A and B are shown apart, each in its own frame.
Chain A
Amino acid sequence: MVEITHLDSMPKASVRAADGTAAAAALGLNFGSSERRGDTLVVRIRPDEWYLLGDGAPAMAASLDLSGFASMVDTSHSRTAVRVTGDRAADTLAKLGSADFGDHMTPNRAALGNGIAGVTCDIVRDDQSGVRSYLLLLDGSFVTYFLGALHDAASEF
């Protein structure tokens, strides 16, 4: 079973912060991992970039100290999110990209960037009450194609 959900208007913010800035210290985390803080999912997606996702994102972004070499952009409307949940979620993604979605490589809370069906995606493993689930963030303009590609891949099992 695979369930594909388009999270059309999930609030999203991208924070870029250099080492040693207040924002970087506040957000923390290791590169490639994520953490749920209240109703915000905080993801360190790149060495110097964090995503704040979910309903609490605007509040958390507003509370950040952006002094020094740090900046915040609201990407709610330029990026979109798709959630793929189910016991075959990893197999579905595996068909479309080259990353290893096995538990030993990308356990729950892992985050990585990779091409999925030719679209550059940021991927967060975010299991939903014990069921394997991936949150994919991509450029909003590709989403129609992207959902089609996911369907095709999922319906081939």
Chain B
Amino acid sequence: MAKHRRVDYRPNRHRTSQAQVDVAIDESSGLLIRRHGLELDIGLGPRRAKPVKEPWDELKGGRVDKTQTQTTTGTNTKLFRRPGNPLRRDQKLSCVRQKSCAVGSQRHSPRGALKERKTEVGFELPDLLTECRLGDVKAVGGPSEVQFLGHGDEGVEAPQVRQVTHLQIISILLNSLLHPHERIGQTESMGKNKPPAKYSAVGLLWRGLRKQSWPRVWREPEFKNTYDVVIIGGGVHGLATAYYLASNHGITNVAVIDKQYLGSGGSGRNTAIVRSNYLTPEGVAFYDRSLDLYHSMSNDLNLNVMFSERGHLTLAHTDSALRTMNWRAEVNKLQGINSSVITPAEIKKLAPSLDVSADTRYPILGALYHPPGGTIRHDAVVWGYARSADAYGIDLHQKTEVLDILVEGGSGPKGKGPGGKVTGVRTSKGDIHAPTVVNCTAGWASQLSNMTGVTLPITTHPLQAAVTEPVKTFLPTVVVSGSLHVYVSQTDRGELVFGASVDPVATYNMGGTLEFTEELAGHVLELMPGISKMRLLRQWAGLCDMTPDYSPVMGPTPVDGFFVDVGWGTYGFKAGPVSGEQMAACVANGATPELIKPFELSRFTEGTLVGEKGAAAVGH
């Protein structure tokens, strides 16, 4: 006889009451979500959903809304609802999602055509988000098991926001007094093969007093038909490569081409975490060089990139994750990287808002702590490189799309493919002759490489991120949890910036999804139950070029003159400076530098992969 056991309800621990969301359906006019007196139109049928905003719509209107932390991009989500199955008035928000799917329909109407079932219900997520608090949107139920990401969990850091001393301020002021001619925003040197005019405190004061406006920072160059080097992609990688070609190798007849605006790809969308505590010796050496370059970047580019070395904590929730942390710490130490495993008590000291108690579903067992890790202002990095490259005379062509790459003599169709030689590119503004073309297009890398007949080991997945309203600073480090698929850091302005791992289904669509928001809220509240009343401000996505081994693809390809610097996935921002430096050397000297040898495309056919999944799947 079977034993029956009745389990009593117990009040749930963290969860606050559900969102006060009222969902009503009106078949003729659409679906209304009423919340706190606010009505959201979820148009259905005659009244259509609000037009879907594309990231570049803002640009079309001539206005790019750049805020300090993140570029806002059109974020929207679509819910699907079956017709003839109206949502009930008393249903809650989570049920909206539930209505989205009709499992089992096949059984009762076996030939049901998908079209009929797919009535679209779209609404703009940002509105929804600003009205809901994290505790309201969180998903019911989390992952059923701790997902095992390669070797476990993700990357860490520490709290040492660097203080500028009075002495340093005085020396900056003195310095600018001694060189008053290097005033901020001077334009004389633009495009004249020398470093750009300096931004200085005195220049700032001078301009302020005279109420002068600021000049353009880089030129809008004439379209030329020949260049020595064409770099496709105006993100941090393309611009850094251009900058180092000029500054380290004196090659200045270079064009950087972007189909949108500079930094419109991942470089303007990332969560700006930099660190070097990777898993393989190759990876560690490489990313550490990048950190070095970031350290001196504000000085080198004369633009404050707001590097905040606040430390990076990668939490371990399982024994296997802890084992990976120990392994990483040892690899790191051997290479002279500051990285160690710390206990829950020490974690609590670093980040008091984390729930380190033992009775959570995924108790924190320890963490890899990497004090040199931190965050940086990603837009400033892009602008800094752009401004300096421009000053060297490099042409930055925005809103110019590469439509084809011209190749001769290859073994594939139309003379493309292995053995061929690059002769130039075809763009939306005309053809350009160039013996060397560098592909720095991250998420779009496969499209560009396919134009030359070179197939890459890359699939494009969107990565989503979100940011909350600003609050007083309380989180001094970057916190990453690979098991919970979430990471979080607080900006200087006080917003919490969240990220996760890439969406599992490959797509070039940068729309946001409600699933992401729900899961994010659920997971982050497991780590920090105290923030359930915070509101999300917005959510966005960027495209990531994922490789099978979570390491990049850099250097020459079987097509002569065609170089790639791609496969940057979710971790390419921190590598921008070193990639630029090494790719410039690679292009200028015609030989792959030692530091990036392990990342050549040929490793995929030779079977010498550089497995970084254990250190990069969520960590970025």
Contact of A118 among B3, B17, B108, B144 (CB under 8 A): B144
| B6 pairs with A96, CB closer than 8 A | no
Instruction: Say whether A97 faces chain B, with CB atoms less than 8 Å apart.
Output: yes
Contacts of A142 in B (CB 8 A): 144-145
Could you tell me if A155 and B107 are in contact, using CB atoms closer than 8 angstroms?
Answer: no
> Which single member of B3, B82, B140, B361 contacts A95 (CB below 8 Å)?
B140
What distance in Å separates the Cβ of A99 from its nearest Cβ neighbour in chain B? 4
- Interface residues in B520-552 (C-beta closer than 8 Å to A): none
Contact residues of B between 309 and 367, Cβ < 8 Å to A: 361
User: B214 contacts which chain A residues (CB < 8 A)?
Assistant: none
Say yes or no: A119 contacts B98, CB within 8 Å.
Answer: no
- The answer to whether B144 touches A95 (Cβ under 8 A) is no
- Contact indicator per residue, chain B 1-13, by CB within 8 Å of chain A (1) or not (0): 1111111011110
Contact for B102 among A11, A31, A100, A147, CB less than 8 A: A100
Q: Give a binary string over A1-43; 1 marks a CB under 8 Å from any B CB, 0 the rest.
A: 0011111111100000000000000000011110000000000
B99 & A100 in contact (Cβ 8 Å cutoff): yes
- Could you tell me if B140 and A5 are in contact, using CB atoms closer than 8 angstroms? no
Q: Is B59 part of the binding interface, using a Cβ–Cβ cutoff of 8 Å? A: no
Q: Separation in Å of the B173 CB from the closest CB of chain A?
A: 57
How far apart are the CA atoms of A74 and B98 in the complex, in Å? 33
Residues of A within 8 A of B18 (CB): 156
The answer to whether A155 and B104 have CB atoms under 8 Å apart is no
Find out whether the CB atom of B99 lies under 8 angstroms from the CB atom of A152.
Answer: no
Q: Are A32 and B12 in contact (CB under 8 A)?
A: no
| A115-145 interface with B by 8 A CB criterion | 115-120, 142, 145
Which among A8, A32, A97, A112 is the interface contact of B98 at CB below 8 angstroms? Answer: A97
A58 to chain B, nearest CB (A): 12
- Interface residue B216 (Cβ < 8 Å from any Cβ of A): no
**Cα distance A54–B2 when bound, in Å?**
8
Inter-chain CB contacts under 8 Å: number: 115
Q: Is A59 an interface residue (CB 8 A)?
A: no
Q: From residue A45, how far is it (CB to closest CB) to chain B in Å?
A: 11
Known pairs A142-B144, A151-B9; A94 contacts B2 (CB<8 A): no
State whether A55 touches B101 (Cβ < 8 A): no
A105 sits at the interface (CB 8 A): yes
CB of A149 closer than 8 Å to a CB of B = yes
Main secondary structure, interface of A, reads mixed
- What is the bound-complex CA distance between A40 and B108, given in angstroms? 24
The reply to whether A155 and B9 contact each other, CB–CB distance below 8 Å, is yes
Bound: A154/B9 CA distance, A: 8
Distance (whole angstroms) from the CB of A91 to the closest CB of chain B: 8
Q: Is A55 in contact with B140, judged by CB distance below 8 angstroms? A: no
Of the candidates A7, A106, A110, A118, the one having the most CB atoms from chain B within 10 angstroms of its own CB is A118
Residue of B with least CB distance to A125: B104
* Residues of chain A within 8 A of B142, CB atoms compared: 117-118
The residue on B at minimum CB distance from A142 is B144
Question: A114 on the interface (CB 8 Å rule)?
Answer: yes
Are A94 and B105 in contact, with the CB atoms below 8 A?
no
Q: Which residues on the B side are within 8 Å of A11 (C-beta)?
A: 2
| B2 and A9 within 8 A (CB) | yes
A112 contacts across to B, CB distance below 8 A: 103-104, 107
Cβ of A153 under 8 Å from chain B? yes
B160 interface residue (CB < 8 Å to A): no
Count chain B residues whose beta carbon lies closer than 8 angstroms to a beta carbon of A.
38
B100 within 8 A of A: yes
A81 CA to B99 CA, complexed, in Å: 25
Interface pair A152/B140, CB less than 8 Å apart:
yes
Tell me the smallest distance from the CB of A109 to a CB of chain B, in Å. 11
Identity of the chain B residue whose Cβ is nearest the Cβ of A156 in the assembled complex: B18
CB-CB under 8 A from B85, the residues of chain A are 100, 102, 104
| Cβ contact of A106, chosen from B94, B100, B104, B361, cutoff 8 A | B104
Residue B62 at the chain A interface, CB threshold 8 Å: no
- B100 near A98 with CB under 8 A, answer yes
A156 to B20, CA, bound (A): 12
Whether A118 touches B107, Cβ cut-off 8 Å, given contacts A8-B2, A8-B5, is no
With most chain A CB atoms within 10 A of its CB, the pick from B97, B143, B144 is: B144
- Among A31, A94, A145, A153, contact of B361 (Cβ-Cβ < 8 Å): A145
Q: What is the chain A residue whose CB lies nearest that of B105? A: A105
The residue on B at minimum CB distance from A146 is B144
Q: Which residues of A contact B107 (CB under 8 A)?
A: 30-33, 110, 112
Q: Is B504 an interface residue (CB 8 A)?
A: no
How far, in angstroms, from A107 to B105 measured CA to CA in the complex?
A: 11
- Is A96 a contact partner of B141 (Cβ separation < 8 A)? yes
Which chain A residues border B95 with CB–CB below 8 Å?
91, 94-95
Indicate if the CB atoms of B104 and A151 lie closer than 8 Å. Answer: no
Q: Nearest-CB distance from A102 to chain B (Å)?
A: 7
- A113 to B100, alpha carbons, bound, how many Å? 16
Judge whether A117 and B144 touch: CB under 8 Å: yes
Residue of A95, A96, A154, A156 with most chain B CB atoms under a 10 A cut-off: A95
Contact A98 B12 (CB under 8 A): no
Chain B: residues with CB nearer than 8 A to chain A?
1-7, 9-12, 15, 17-18, 82, 85, 92, 94-95, 97-108, 140-145, 361
A-B contact pairs, 23 of them (CB 8 A): A6-B5, A8-B3, A9-B2, A10-B2, A11-B2, A30-B107, A32-B106, A32-B107, A54-B2, A98-B97, A99-B101, A99-B103, A100-B98, A100-B103, A107-B108, A110-B104, A113-B103, A116-B141, A117-B140, A142-B145, A149-B140, A151-B12, A152-B140
A residues whose Cβ falls under 8 Å from a Cβ of B = 3-11, 30-33, 54-55, 91, 94-100, 102, 104-107, 110, 112-120, 142, 145, 147, 149, 151-156
Closest 3 CB pairs of A and B: A117-B141, A32-B107, A99-B103
- Given A99-B101, A149-B140; 13 other pairs, CB 8 A cutoff: A4-B6, A6-B7, A8-B3, A32-B107, A95-B140, A97-B98, A105-B103, A112-B107, A118-B143, A145-B361, A151-B9, A154-B9, A156-B17
